A and B are shown apart, each in its own frame.
Chain A
Amino acid sequence: MSTSVISRPETATATGPERRRPRRRRRNPNVPGGIAAIVWFLIVAIPLYFIVVTSVRTQEAYVSDGPLDLPTTFTLKNYTNVIDLGFGTFLLNSVIVALATVVVVIVLALPAAYAITRGRSRVVQYAFTLFLMGLAIPAQAVIIPIYLLITRMNLYDSLTAIVLPTAAFTMPMAVLVLTSALRDVPNELYEAMTVDGAGTAMIFRRLVVPLSRPALASIGIFAGLNAWNGILFPLVLTQSPDQRVLPLGLWNFQSQYGTDVPGLLAAVVLSALPVLALYLFGRRQLLSGLSAGFGK
């Protein structure tokens, strides 16, 4: 669904003959769009240049030469510095939280989506309505009861405390996306397996899991990015440096060493590397994961 929305035009233009000979050749080009694109290009590119270049400059050079100077001094000291200050741990914590969230979401949402698509029971359909309503609940609005719940469960200040609510708030979208993916599976496939004597467990393993793989990839990335970017749950539900995730690590660094901008930007680059890797190796999945839920 969202996968094809994003990716199909891409491949069509890359391989089709229109690539070389544009289908609609225009005598008057898209001038307002071009101008907006160039202005926006500068607005995007300048901060990106600032991030990358400043992260390899010395602090002295940054203060004396200004924010956009060429990197006349090159150093990796900022990177080693922030790693010494615990960014390795924060990075690891964020990776653990993201992966655990993905696992919880997929393990719970896929069977639910299967039941909603194929189940006949009325309770299942009520559950689906529940998830649909859940799309609207802003996490901020329930942070106080969640704080109460987490402290009563003795989970305060643990990575689990971040994973559970993050996964719960990704669940509605996951169920929705997986349900619509499973609805596209032809009835005949289920019937054929049933005729062969397969029960629900077998059908789930042999049919539902393999056929929902693309949707699972999108939802996995969607859930992972949600956990990776989340600030609110870690902020309210954790406290100690051992349990700190990247966004809080960045914020904490900025409030403690506010003048060390090169250090902060080195940490920013470090924090973007896993997502960048994801982008380089699975651009299509990343795009569909980002836009999961769009077009719902």
Chain B
Amino acid sequence: MKDRVALVASGALLLYVIAMTALVPLGPGLIALEPVEATPLQRFEVVGLGTHFAGQTTQTRVFVGQPGAVWEWRVLEARDNSRLLVEAVWPEKLKSKSLDVFVYHPTDGTLLLENALHVDHLPVDAATAFPPLSQPIPSGDGLGLHFPFQPQIFESIRNLLWHVPMWFTMFLLAGIGFVASIRQLGSNRLLPADGQAEAASRVALFFGLLGLITGSIWARFTWGTWWVDDPQLNGALVTVLVYGGYSVLRASLEDAMLRARLASAYNLFAFVILVILLLILPRFSESLHPGKGGNPGFNAYDLDSTLRLVFYPAVVGWGLLGWVLYRLGLRMDLVTRWMESLDPPLDPGPSTTPNSPLP
């Protein structure tokens, strides 16, 4: 009964996730701040993607600077929906040579482009005090549901609902395998825990592979290559290989008790490797991959309310699917072993019934 409930729940959640992945549009964002050729330090064009600058130009406002030291520029006109012509206003001194751009538009809300402009023509004094704005930068938008715009990532942010939950599920199942292996290792008899460790590690391997594949696809769209030499990616590959080794080890042993003992020892080893390479080491190293080293990373996405609306159900949905597959594998193994142990043994080979799910 519980297995069926889990299956239905997982199916419903994942259907929702698929629907949202396909249908929710990406929100607007800024791509560049381009100087107008004829007047390089006076006039600029703010370039957006998916923006609606053409309407409500009078209520559009543009701010430039660093957080805490921001001043306003004059909006001249909107060339089209994506291009906004602005006139620069310069203070006497700057806090830093690198400036961010904030655009407020009634429909698009507040858009930010970090490190949009690098200026050399003014002196820089880090201790410069800037007067606070007369009113804070307005917020709030007139858009419906949309995914957040992130530079370099753009539309591929949808992968967040697949790649990340798949890895979470892998961790979950590796954890189940770990606990089962501890139980098995602490005993002199063959426990059901051994079968649990086997089924859990198998599904963990499967989700690890899915995580690597979705990650590789994501890398292709954001970084341009299918793989980079990165501590997080290398750690993920090694972890998946180690869990692959677990299956190989089990396959090479005949005696059930020896297999249980060696495999459970190896599983403990594998899990510790997973924790070190994927949960501990990345926090200490520079990485392209979000969430560690210098990147604003995962937390930046998580703040967005629309994403949260789909991400949490996705984690639960994929996790439940992992659990369902684990339970399925476990039950299949038990039944297969029983069939083989009968006298005469029932061969669970290629089945004779037309629709049997057993291979």
Report if A and B associate in a common complex: no
Residue ranges of B at the interface with A (Cβ–Cβ < 8 Å): none
